[in-house]
Amino acid sequence: MKKSLWWVGVIGMLVSAPAWACSIQICAETFELASQGLTIPANAEYVLMDTYDSDPTNAGVVLEDSDGPVEIEIEEVGNWWKISPREGFAENQNYTLRLEPDGELEWEDGFVICGESLPEYSFSTGEAQSFPTTLGELKASEPQFGEVQLEAGASCFEDVEVSYVDVELELPQELEHWQGVIVLETYVNDTSWKVSEILGGMYKPGESWVGFAKDRVLTICGSAWEQPQEYYVTGPVDVRMRAYILGTDVELESNTLTVNLECPEESNLPDVPNQPGDTQSNATSEGCGCASSQGSGLVLPLIFLFCLFRRRQRSR
């Protein structure tokens, strides 16, 4: 992520065309906790956190129980952070997790503090539970047609027409106990379904953009911006879900469903790219709320470069 920010700055300075003048603010308080508001088994080894910061230890992750701070270990797992108490969780205990600035958290750390204080996130533990052995039955809705908002470059978004099917697991009770710990993934044609990456939001680790144990499989019927090619597939597709608990042998799969994604013959949006790398020369950015300006393209990249330089100097 740090390298990508450098590229943002460099590319932004090289581009002389009108720049998208969007308001961008990355807040230290912006993160998702998978177990927020839930009761997890006491024999769970971790909770999962998703944050915009490339290193949550910059802000000081603090886990507390009723007796005070708990010693923790932090491990990067893909795009998430696994927070594990060194001595394990206690049974029937309430916990809070928060980011605590160290007093030097400014722009050079890659984000700003939004608001006067950072929020706390809470969860609790119950009794130890046995690991789940079945995932449950996967069911699908009838194909539907509607709109979804996707990233459209330069921190903008556009509303695109899609054909979609909602899928949902009928969870066995033994698995419900592990919500907030177990990770669920959707696979479409044996490929991990990562549509959340082009939605521009943050979602609880282990969940999809529509919630826990459910997902929305779609195909784009028209877009002014080029999106990854896997989101233009039409016709029958195979869908299944997979679940796992980090650090254990638990790995479960659902049944496989075949659903049909078809776009209507007419669409109000421009034609989609036919091949990877194709572009839309006549496409417009409908639904993008950003304004174009001639002089603002250099400002944000320069701020990023300056702040990242300061951060690198401080770390030496």
Instruction: Determine the distance from the C-alpha atom of residue 193 to the mean position of all C-alpha atoms in its chain, rounded to a whole number.
Output: 12
Tally the C-alpha atoms within 13 A of residue 160's C-alpha that lie toward its C-beta: 31
C-alpha 270/C-alpha 283 separation (Å) is 6
C-alpha span between 300 and 21 (Å, rounded) = 9
For residues 267, 268, 271 and 272, what is the CA-based torsion angle, rounded to 10 degrees?
-80
Residues 25 and 4 in one domain: no
Q: Quick check: is 269 in a domain?
A: no
CA gap 184, 99 in Å, rounded: 26
227-252 tens-digit pLDDT = 778 888 899 999 999 999 999 999 99
Q: Is residue 179 part of a domain?
A: yes
Band of pLDDT at residue 50, cut at 50, 70 and 90: confident
- The pLDDT tens digits for 273-302 are 333 333 332 233 444 444 333 344 444 444
Range of the domain at 300: 1-19+295-307
Q: What local confidence, expressed as pLDDT, does residue 251 receive?
A: 96
256-to-9, 74, 231, 242 alpha-carbon distances in Å: 44, 35, 19, 10
Q: Are residues 125 and 226 in the same domain?
A: no
Residue 169 and residue 142 share a domain: yes
**172 Cβ partners below 8 Å, 6+ apart?**
132, 134, 135, 136
**pTM score of the predicted model:** 0.69
pLDDT value, residue 76: 85
Q: Are residues 187 and 101 in the same domain?
A: no
Q: In terms of domains, do 122 and 144 share one?
A: no
Q: By mean pLDDT, which of 157-161, 173-177, 186-190 is the weakest?
A: 157-161
CB half-sphere exposure, 241, CA atoms < 13 A: 29
Q: Give me the percent of the chain exceeding a pLDDT of 90.
A: 41
- Please report whether residue 301 resides in a domain: yes
Instruction: Confirm whether 268 is domain-assigned.
Output: no
Within-domain flag for 272:
no
* Residue 66 in domain: yes
Give the CATH number, domain containing residue 229.
Answer: 2.60.40
pLDDT at 33 (0 to 100): 84
Residue 273 CA to residue 102 CA, distance in Å, equals 48
Task: Provide mean pLDDT across the span 194-219.
Answer: 84
Residues 71 and 109 in one domain: yes
Distance CA 9, CA 19 (A): 13
pLDDT for res 22: 36
Domain count along the chain? 3
In this structure, are 78 and 111 located in the same domain?
yes
On whether residue 273 sits in a domain, the answer given is no
Is the same domain home to 2 and 36?
A: no
CA distances from 183 to 18, 19, 227, 248, 251 (A): 42, 39, 26, 12, 10
**Least reliable range by pLDDT among 41-45, 181-185, 294-298, 299-303:** 294-298
